[in-house]
A and B are shown apart, each in its own frame.
Chain A
Amino acid sequence: MFVYILKRTSIAVPTLLAIIALSFFLMRFAPGGPFDRERPLQPEIRAALEARYGLDDPVFVQFWRYMANLAQGDFGPSYIRPGWQVMDFIAAGFPVSFELAAWALLLAVSVGIPLGAVAALRSNSRLDVALMSAAMTGIAVPRFVLAPLLSLFFGVYLGLVPVGGWHGGAIANKILPVLALALPVLAYVARITRGAMIETLHSEFITVARAKGMPARRILFRHAIKPVLIPVISFLGPGAAGLISGSVVIERVFGLPGMGSYFVDGALNRDYLLVLGVICVYAAILVTLNLVVDLAYAVLDPRTRSELA
C-alpha cells in the first residue's frame, strides 16, 4: 500500500515538469509576441523592452532561467503589465477561482448523488424520467449558453441577483456563477450515481442482504453506497478538470476576478509568463486531484488493496 502511494506520487512531479516544459515551448509557436500592438512600438523601445525581460536570449536559455526561478517560487514578471509580478495576479485570482470551484463541486456532489439515488430507487418512473431528462439538458447545454441565460433571466429580467461582478465575494454575487459552473457536473454525477446504483442494487450481495431481512436504509447507506461512489469518484478527476476549464467561461460571462481570465487574456496578449504561471497552478491541482482519486480507490475498493499487496 505504501509502495503504491510512493509510486503514484513519484510520477506526479515529472508529469508536472513535462506539462510546464511543453507549454513553455508550445506558446512560442503562436505568431507574434507580447510587444505586438495596434500602435507598433518604435524599434528602440521594443529592443529596450525585450532586453529588459530577456526575450532577446535564445529560447532554451529563457527556459532554463524560468525553471531556475520557478524552483525558488518566482513565477516571473508580467510582460504586459509593467511593475506587476505573475505571483500578484495568481494570489489575487486563485482564491476566487478556488472558491467558485469548491462550491460548485460541493453542490454537484451533495445534490447530484441524492438525485441520482432517488432516480435509481424509483427507476423508470415519471420522476426518474424527469430527473434524467433534466440531467441530459444540463450535460448538453454548454456553459457559455447556460451562464448568459441564467444571468439574463434571474439578473436582468427578475432582478433577483446581481448580473455580474464579485463585490469582494458577496454571497449574492456567487449564486449564479456557482450554479452555472456546477450544473453540468451535477448532471453527470446524477446520471453516474443512478447507473451505478441500479447495477449495485441488482447485484448478488444486496440480494443476500435483503433475503437476510436487513432494513432498506441500512442496505442503502452501509452496503450499496461504496460501490456506487467508486465511479463517481473516478469521474471527479476529469470532473474537476471540467470545473477548472468551465471557470474560464463563467468568469468571463459574470466578470469575476478569477484566474481563468488570465489564461485567455494572457494567451491573446502573449503574456507568456502569466499563462505559464496559471498553467503551473492548474496542472498542480489536476495532478494532485488525480493522485487523491487514485488513493481513494485503494480506500474504497478492497480489491485494489489486495491487488497491490
Chain B
Amino acid sequence: MALDRRDFLGLAALAAAVGVTPTAGRAALAEGVGRRRARDLGIILGRLPPGTLNAITDVPGVRVGQVTVVAGEGAWQPGASPVRTGLTAILPTADIGSTAVAAGLAVPNGNGELSGLQAIERLGVVASPILLTGTSHVGVVYDAVVDVLAEHGPVPPTPVVGETWDGTLSDVAGRYLGAEQVRAALAAAVGGAVAEGAVGGGTGMICYGFKGGIGTASRRLPAPLEGHHVGVLVQANHGRREMLRIDGVAVGEALADWQGGQPPAPPSGVNSILIVIATDVPLLDVELARVARRAVHGLARTGSISSNSSGDFALAFSTANAVGWRQLLGDGRLIWRTVDQGAIEPVLQATAEATEEAIINALCMATDMAGRDGVLVPALPLAEVTALLAAHGRLHA
C-alpha cells in the first residue's frame, strides 16, 4: 500500500478525534483486565504445537491491521449512536493488489456476504486485502478498497470484504467507516502479535452468547513440512450459548443462565463467522479449497452447527504461490508449486485445530461490552470456565 508513516499518523490523529482507534498488531494486544488467551489459561486444544506468536502472522509476510470505532451509549438513535464497530484487514502479501496468491474457499452456510467469491472461484486467487467488518459497512468498505486497488492498475482485482452482524450492540443505520478508516487499517497492518477480542471488525460481535470478536491462532507443521505454518484469524459472531463447547466440555450448557443468559438475538436468528486461513505451504487453489473445508471441523468442535441463519465462510490462501496480478490475467505461462497430497494431512489437522483455538481466543480475550439500548454482553467468565475445565480434567498446567 502507498501510505507512508506520516500519512498513517495523520489519519491516526483524525481517527482519534472521532473516537476511532487504529490498532497496529504490536501496539495493542487487547489485554483487557483479567483477559488471557486460551493457552495461557491452560486450555490446550489439539495436538500440534503453535507458532511463536500463535497467530495468523506466524505465516511469514502476512500482516494484520485493525480499526476500532466505539462512540456513544444508551438508547439507539438510528444513524447516530451508539457505535460499536470496526474493521480488520488481512494482507496476504506486502504488495497485495499487484500480487495475487492462490486461494480456496468453503462456505458451510452462505447466509452472509463475502465479496469476491466469483473471482476466487474462477481465478483461484485472492488479489485484494481481506477486509472483515460489520454487515452495514460492507458496501462502503468495498467501495473504499476499490479505490485503493485502482492505484495498482487499470484492471484492479475484486475486493474481498466479509461481514458479520453487529446490530445488537451497534447502530447499523449509520455509516462509521469509509475510505479514511480503510486506509488507516491497511497502513496499520503489520506482522507480529494480533489484537484479539472486541477490536477491529469484531468490535460489536457476539459469540455463543458471550462477547465475541477477533481471535487468532497458528500451528507449526511437522515433517515433511517442518518449517511451515498454518495460521487462522476469525471474526466470531456465531452460535447460541448452550452450544458452546471448549475442549469437549459443555461449557455453554453449564453457563446457560449465567448473567441472565443469551443476549438478545437478531431478528434473523443466530449470526455468523468469518475464517481466514493462511499458510506458507505451497498449495494450489483446489488444494486450498480442501484446507478451507477443514476449518468447519474446528468450528464444529466449539459447538457450532453452521446454523440456518448463519453466514459462515472459510477462505484459505497460500503465500507460497504468488503471481503478479497482471501476469495472471495475461498471455503467459505461469508457475506454481505444490506438495504431494499425501503430505497434506498435517495442514488439514492444523487448520482444524487453529480454527478451534482462534474462536476460543476470541472469547477469552473479549471484554464486557454495553451497546445499543444499554444491552450488556458479558465476556466469557474465565474463572468459571477454567473451573469447569479443571473439573473435567481438561485444564493443563
The answer to whether A and B assemble together is no
Using a CB–CB distance below 8 Å, which chain A residues touch chain B? none
